[in-house]
Structure 1
Amino acid sequence: MAQGAIQIDEKRLAQVMERGLSSGGHFSFEDGVCAMEAAAYIAGEPHSDHPDCACPVITAFMISWNDSLNDEDRNRLILPLIVKTVGTRSTPEVEQRRAIMATDWLIRVHTPAWLRLAGLKGQADTLANLPEITGVEGFAPIRAPLEAIRKDAAAAGAAAGAAARDAARAAAGAAAGAAARDAARAAARAAAWDAAWAAARDAAWDAARAAAGAAARDAAWDAAGDAAWDAARAAARAAAGAALKPTVTELQASASDLIVRMCAVGA
């Protein structure tokens, strides 16, 4: 389905741009819209967060990313992309290509950003310098380095978590230490779960799984995606809270670019 074949309702588009986007699902436009409910609305479809006009890979990414952002970032980053998603529904082959693009981004862009922040520059360079993954056959050769990097990141994350916990307990006692630990976790979620965090496991990787058929979801693909996610999560744990912001901002921009590139595939 080509975007040019779908007539976007300009009046409805103006309504969406004025109202803006909100998180979660909604019963009707009057209740609010997330990114893909807005896409359905401007395409003249019934209210839904899985519009017929949009590729399911892009839909999965956009829903998760939409729900991970605060209102300001959601409308700054996602609102301009909605029109591009309309008309992206295509063949299974194009959907799988987009799914692989999302997984490639997770492995070669998202994960290295967190590894560098955690001080694991060599491991980050290893992933960033991998050849672009363009087919399922590209996942098997990278399984071993990904598993090794996952272990390195897990060790760094565990060490950082233990150090922070011990320091907090020494300063304020066990009860205060537990509260500080919980606060630190909440702060990390608030900082890192913007675009970057959810656009990984909950968006990029889940989009890849949703789009790829059972035959394409081979062991190598699963292992590569899981290893990259675990490494990124552990590396983010090892990073200081205030230092997360530049990485989040960088990955927000990268996620926007990924959506634009996925929309352009098969156009």
Structure 2
Amino acid sequence: MEACDLGTITLTRKATPNRSTSMSLPEAVAWFAGEGHSDRPRCVSSMLLASATVLSDRLPDRKRQRLKRFVPALVGTAGDGRDRERSLLAMDWLVRVHTPAWLRLVPSLGLAAASLAEHEPVLGVSDAAELIEAPLVAVRRAALAARTRVSWPETGISSADVSVAVSRALSAQAADAAVAATLDISESFLAVCGRMRLAIEQAVLVAVCARPWNSRSVSLDEHVSTLMAPTTEQLDDAVIDLFARLVDVTPPSDHGWLSTHPAESARRDGLV
């Protein structure tokens, strides 16, 4: 069997029917490990495989190529007994990085976002459930207030239409690789994850409704995508960093997942 040369491979979104220089991340791992052509390599932990599959599918092409560096390290992770640790790391990231990133789209939710980002590591599902409740209440209040302060004129599009557009855009995010990585705790974490998603959807909905929109020149989906783009870009990079930590089972530093302490960032941004 010809050896795998990562330098010549282009990673694709989806699995490919035959082995060539274009293939998905899981297929590249199978080749590197000396397995037959497959997008379900036996040598990779089921949790990491689920996360890698989402990353390979959702990232923009340029950023997808950055995943090639993980191929050697993914080999041999199957059965290493560390998937629960990985799932807890992913849960912590979803609470302290992913959710506050979207809440920050709404200025009035700055403190709610900071309460999550500045929190000590979330080590259990019950802690995550408790921590998300206050921000969720704040988001609901912001959503209720936003109903009377829509800044773009009547377009004939219902609030349900906007909600669907927001949900559709969020469902295409590469950051869902972190959700896939909670496979080992999914039974207990699913409800909490759903509540975080609800808070995120409502926050993005508030931000969308507050942003001026010329519906004659820009579609609703384009309007939503434009507003979400900067956060999407940041989270794409953040979830790649998370994936690196999941592979090696490396917790974040004492300052959390961010490059600077979240309290310092909040003060700099005038949130506290």
TM-score (norm 1): 0.72
What letter corresponds to residue 136 of structure 2 in structure 1? R
How far apart in 1 are the matches of 2:168 and 2:207? 9
Instruction: Say if 1:25 and 1:49, in contact at 8 Å, map to a contact too.
Output: yes
Is residue 13 from structure 1 mapped to residue 5 from structure 2 by the alignment?
Answer: yes
Count of aligned pairs: 230
How far apart in 1 are the matches of 2:49 and 2:106? 31
- CA shift, 1:124, in A, is 0.7
- CA shift, 1:61, in A, is 1.1
Which string of whole-angstrom CA distances, capped at 9 and with x for unpartnered residues, describes residues 219-245 of structure 1?
Answer: xx3333222222223323333544433
Is residue 104 from structure 1 mapped to residue 92 from structure 2 by the alignment?
Answer: yes
Structure 2 unmatched ranges of 5 or more: 209-223, 251-272
Is residue 86 from structure 1 mapped to residue 66 from structure 2 by the alignment?
Answer: no
Report the CA distance shift for 1:20/1:223 in structure 2 as closer, same or farther (over 3 A): same
Percent same amino acid among aligned pairs? Answer: 27
How far apart in 1 are the matches of 2:2 and 2:101? 38
Structure 2 residue matching 1:88: 3-state secondary structure:
coil
Instruction: Say if 2:31 and 2:37, in contact at 8 Å, map to a contact too.
Output: yes
Instruction: Say if 1:102 and 1:207, in contact at 8 Å, map to a contact too.
Output: yes
**Cross-structure match for 1:222:** 190
Q: 1:231 aligns with which of 170, 188, 199?
A: 199
Is residue 117 from structure 1 mapped to residue 85 from structure 2 by the alignment?
Answer: no
How far apart in 1 are the matches of 2:29 and 2:137? 41
Structure 1 unmatched ranges of 5 or more: 1-8
What pairs up with 1:23-38 in 2 under 5 angstroms? 23-30=13-20, 32-38=22-28
Is residue 146 from structure 1 mapped to residue 136 from structure 2 by the alignment?
Answer: no
Is residue 246 from structure 1 mapped to residue 230 from structure 2 by the alignment?
Answer: yes
- CA shift, 1:102, in A, is 0.8
**Cross-structure match for 1:4:** none
How far apart in 2 are the matches of 1:69 and 1:18? 19
- CA shift, 1:186, in A, is 8.0
How far apart in 2 are the matches of 1:13 and 1:31? 9
What letter corresponds to residue 239 of structure 1 in structure 2? A
What letter corresponds to residue 237 of structure 1 in structure 2? L
Bigger RCO (CA 8 Å, 6+ sep): 1
Is residue 45 from structure 1 mapped to residue 45 from structure 2 by the alignment?
Answer: no
**Cross-structure match for 2:249:** 265
Q: 1:130 aligns with which of 102, 119, 136?
A: 119
CA RMSD in angstroms comes to 3.3
Instruction: Say if 1:161 and 1:237, in contact at 8 Å, map to a contact too.
Output: no
**Cross-structure match for 1:185:** 165
How far apart in 1 are the matches of 2:26 and 2:122? 27
Report the CA distance shift for 1:129/1:186 in structure 2 as closer, same or farther (over 3 A): closer
Q: 1:211 aligns with which of 179, 184, 189?
A: 184
**Cross-structure match for 1:6:** none
Instruction: Say if 2:99 and 2:200, in contact at 8 Å, map to a contact too.
Output: yes
Structure ranking higher in helix proportion:
1
TM-score (norm 2): 0.70
Question: Relative to structure 2, which stretch is displaced further, 61-70 or 233-242?
Answer: 233-242
What letter corresponds to residue 105 of structure 1 in structure 2? W
Report the CA distance shift for 1:50/1:239 in structure 2 as closer, same or farther (over 3 A): farther
**Cross-structure match for 2:256:** none
- CA shift, 1:67, in A, is 1.0
Instruction: Say if 2:56 and 2:64, in contact at 8 Å, map to a contact too.
Output: yes
- CA shift, 1:155, in A, is 5.1
